[in-house]
A and B are shown apart, each in its own frame.
Chain A
Amino acid sequence: MSPLTAPPPLLARELRKDYPMNGETVHALRGVSLRVDAGDYVAIAGPSGSGKSTLLQLLGGIDIPSGGDVEVLGTRLDTLSDRDLTRLRLTRLGFIFQRFHLLPVLTAGENVELPMAEAGVPRGERRARARDLLAYVGLAHRVDHRATQLSGGEMQRVAIARSLANHPVVLLADEPTGELDVATGHEILQLFRRLNADGTTLVVVTHDDRLAAEAGRVVHMLDGVIRD
């Protein structure tokens, strides 16, 4: 398959998501379509409750849409079993969360190794790659530190290294600077810029204007639909 006909890393068609809440149905997404091509840096911006995090969860296959479908590299997620979907998240997608969610009992290196261990990467190989990735995010000196011994910015950088562990085709980040101060947020922003320059496809949910401004494309959402 030539690059011209290769399926995009992410393709969403007419996504809808409804939640029951207090006896009523909340329409979190109301027909959202989005295409993300290889090497894109897409920011999804919008106020709280606009449906941007819900969209990211559907794109990442960690929630099931009420309607529409998502394709990752041409594979429709709704055709996959729970096991296959989990495997796809492990090997094709990388996730970064607002609250980092590192395992506090593990070291930075072990946290980065975790997805590789799950994927069956041999111990020596994953250890070396974890060191390389931590060096990439500027934390070579923190490999053996427990997550609890790291600052917020360092924890987010470890989370970014973890998200890159299995060579994902897309990185999905949900408010990655939401818990960080301005200076530290700026460091993460620079890191994302570098990642994209190195060829990583990024989809970032944010209400941080500076972070959105860094993206090649900004998708504005309001009330569950894309405004522009």
Chain B
Amino acid sequence: MRGVAWGLRSLLRQPLRTALSLAGIAVAAAMLLDMVMLSGGIDKSFTDLLLGRGFQMRLTPKGTLPFDTEATMAGASGIVAALRRDPAVAAAGAVLGTSLYGATADSTVTLFGYGIEPEAQSLYQVTSGSDLVPGDTSGVVLSEPAARLLHAALGDTVTLLGRLDPQVVTAAVGRRLIVRGMVRWLYDYRGQPSVGTVLPVMQRLARRNAEDRASIILVKAREDGQIPMLAESLRARFPQVEVNSVADLAAHFRERLVYFRQLSYILGSMSLIVAVLLIATLLTITVNERLGEIATLRAIGVSRGTVVGQVLAEGTALTVVGATLGILLGLVTAEYLDAILTSFPGLPAAFSFFVPRAGTLGFAALVLLVTGSLAGLYPAWLASRTPIAATLRAEAT
């Protein structure tokens, strides 16, 4: 009977105190885990989101990021045609994003419209019905919130309205379209009512057709290794637009959310310190309570190394149990916190702040295990230096 099992049994001498300490360690471990997930999760989630359909590059109006403003670029079809002729480009497609309206039996509802090119789109996944096909100027796809607002189902006809005259609230442009499919828009925020049509239809509704305008052009390179070179070449060929790879966009995003990472590092470090202090305090109290027992062990020939190992084993046992509880607690709280944070307006619903990954969990557990075990060093040293004779004399009186 040695090592961690002995440590666990020793900890059970004072079950309530051990339980309270474990609860403290678990809370600190949960916070550490959440902070580790937060620090790397934003990057991971954002990159996964952008690469979800394999388009590694985005072309946007000069000086903007995708859907950062309402700015658009002219001559979209020409740029897309030129891109598709590039041997390094596997696919390219333009997208126009705009506000528009939908007519119901008794009112007008506000919607967000995407004009897409079905042969090269990376903005949605079809959940039911069928997808748009190139040239389908009478079809539309709806998000679930848009379908609810429009009271529309597959096969129904809906009326989309372009810009309203603010004086008389009548649409300058209107269009009746048949619902082809229900889709999940990858970059929509929670509850966003979005609709999608082929690009020319949306350009007409937004009155952007004359200049052939688009908000963004998506580019899929044939090989990942060619992306930096392709980006450079596109910047030279199309100086009127901004060319960003997903890596560039992730870097921009990282800069914007740098405070999140700083916050997570600070809070993560604090929770680690709290866990270490809890373990060290508990073990120091335990050792001081058991000096007589330790002196006896030393007297009967138990080595300092064994005594040190025993105290460290108790620290390890505390850490292992506390960290296990903490990981479970951390996953639950991360889900809850994620739901709160992703409900902020303007954030894609598919985006996650807390991304649980095996590497993240392993890293947090390893850091905890190492530091938690090290937290036993001082009490272990204290135990190994117990003066045998003086302690036994004190015990006998």
Contact check, A101 vs B303: say whether CB atoms are below 8 A apart. Answer: no
Chain B residues with CB below 8 A from A60, complex form:
299
| B256 close to chain A: CB less than 8 A | no
Contact check, B292 vs A83: say whether CB atoms are below 8 A apart. Answer: no
Q: Which of A51-96 contact B (CB under 8 A)?
A: 53-54, 57, 60, 62-63, 82-83, 86-91, 93-95
| A97 close to chain B: CB less than 8 A | yes
> What is the minimal beta-carbon distance from A19 to any residue of chain B, in angstroms?
9
| B220 close to chain A: CB less than 8 A | no
Chain B residues with CB below 8 A from A117, complex form:
1-2
Contact check, A98 vs B306: say whether CB atoms are below 8 A apart. Answer: no
Contact check, A63 vs B303: say whether CB atoms are below 8 A apart. Answer: no
State A63–B392 Cα separation when bound (angstroms): 11
| B304 close to chain A: CB less than 8 A | yes
Chain B residues with CB below 8 A from A90, complex form:
300-302
Chain B residues with CB below 8 A from A110, complex form:
1
| A113 close to chain B: CB less than 8 A | yes
Contact check, B301 vs A163: say whether CB atoms are below 8 A apart. Answer: no
Cβ contact of A101, chosen from B9, B10, B292, cutoff 8 A = B292
Contact check, B301 vs A87: say whether CB atoms are below 8 A apart. Answer: yes
Chain A residues with CB below 8 A from B12, complex form:
105
Chain A residues with CB below 8 A from B58, complex form:
none
Q: Which of B293, B300, B304 has the most CB of A within 10 A?
A: B300
Cβ contact of B306, chosen from A89, A99, A118, cutoff 8 A = A118
Contact check, B301 vs A97: say whether CB atoms are below 8 A apart. Answer: no
Q: Return the chain B residue nearest A60 by Cβ.
A: B299
Chain B residues with CB below 8 A from A163, complex form:
300
State A163–B1 Cα separation when bound (angstroms): 18
Contact check, A99 vs B300: say whether CB atoms are below 8 A apart. Answer: no
| Known contacts A89-B299, A95-B299, A118-B302: A106-B9 contact under CB 8 Å | yes
| A219 close to chain B: CB less than 8 A | no
Give A156-176 as 1s and 0s: 1 = Cβ < 8 Å from B's Cβ atoms.
000000110010000000110
Contact check, B1 vs A99: say whether CB atoms are below 8 A apart. Answer: no
Q: Which of B10, B292, B299 has the most CB of A within 10 A?
A: B299
| A115 close to chain B: CB less than 8 A | yes
Contact check, A115 vs B300: say whether CB atoms are below 8 A apart. Answer: yes
Contact check, B300 vs A162: say whether CB atoms are below 8 A apart. Answer: yes
| A47 close to chain B: CB less than 8 A | no
Q: Return the chain A residue nearest B388 by Cβ.
A: A62
| Known contacts A57-B392, A98-B396: A104-B303 contact under CB 8 Å | no
Chain A interface bracket (under 10, 10 to 19, 20 to 34, 35 or more)? 35 or more
| A114 close to chain B: CB less than 8 A | yes
Give B299-331 as 1s and 0s: 1 = Cβ < 8 Å from A's Cβ atoms.
111111010000000000000000000000000
Chain B interface bracket (under 10, 10 to 19, 20 to 34, 35 or more)? 20 to 34
| Known contacts A57-B389, A117-B2: A91-B301 contact under CB 8 Å | yes
Chain A residues with CB below 8 A from B293, complex form:
101, 103
Contact check, A101 vs B304: say whether CB atoms are below 8 A apart. Answer: no
| B180 close to chain A: CB less than 8 A | no
State A54–B300 Cα separation when bound (angstroms): 16
Contact check, A118 vs B296: say whether CB atoms are below 8 A apart. Answer: no
Cβ contact of B301, chosen from A57, A99, A101, A115, cutoff 8 A = A115
| B6 close to chain A: CB less than 8 A | yes
Contact check, A86 vs B301: say whether CB atoms are below 8 A apart. Answer: yes
State A115–B1 Cα separation when bound (angstroms): 11
Q: Return the chain B residue nearest A166 by Cβ.
A: B301
Contact check, A105 vs B2: say whether CB atoms are below 8 A apart. Answer: no
State A95–B395 Cα separation when bound (angstroms): 15
Cβ contact of A89, chosen from B300, B304, B393, cutoff 8 A = B300
Contact check, A99 vs B292: say whether CB atoms are below 8 A apart. Answer: yes
| Known contacts A103-B293, A106-B1: A53-B300 contact under CB 8 Å | no
Chain A residues with CB below 8 A from B388, complex form:
62-63
Chain B residues with CB below 8 A from A53, complex form:
393, 396
Chain B residues with CB below 8 A from A174, complex form:
396
Contact check, B300 vs A105: say whether CB atoms are below 8 A apart. Answer: no
State A77–B144 Cα separation when bound (angstroms): 86
Cβ contact of A86, chosen from B10, B298, B389, cutoff 8 A = B298
Q: Return the chain B residue nearest A99 by Cβ.
A: B395
Cβ contact of A113, chosen from B1, B296, B299, B303, cutoff 8 A = B1
> What is the minimal beta-carbon distance from A187 to any residue of chain B, in angstroms?
22
State A191–B2 Cα separation when bound (angstroms): 30
Q: Which of B1-58 contact A (CB under 8 A)?
A: 1-2, 6, 9-10, 12-13
15 new A-B contacts, CB < 8 A, other than A88-B301, A95-B299, A97-B392, are A62-B392, A89-B301, A94-B300, A95-B300, A101-B395, A103-B293, A104-B13, A110-B1, A114-B297, A115-B300, A117-B1, A117-B2, A118-B303, A174-B396, A175-B396
Top 10 A-B pairs ranked by shortest CB distance?
A90-B301, A63-B389, A101-B296, A105-B9, A89-B301, A62-B388, A110-B1, A57-B389, A62-B299, A95-B300
Interface residues of A (CB under 8 A from B): 53-54, 57, 60, 62-63, 82-83, 86-91, 93-95, 97-99, 101, 103-106, 110, 113-115, 117-119, 162-163, 166, 174-175
- 10 A-B residue pairs with Cβ-Cβ distance under 8 Å, sorted by A, are A57-B389, A86-B304, A87-B301, A103-B297, A105-B6, A105-B10, A115-B301, A162-B300, A166-B301, A175-B396
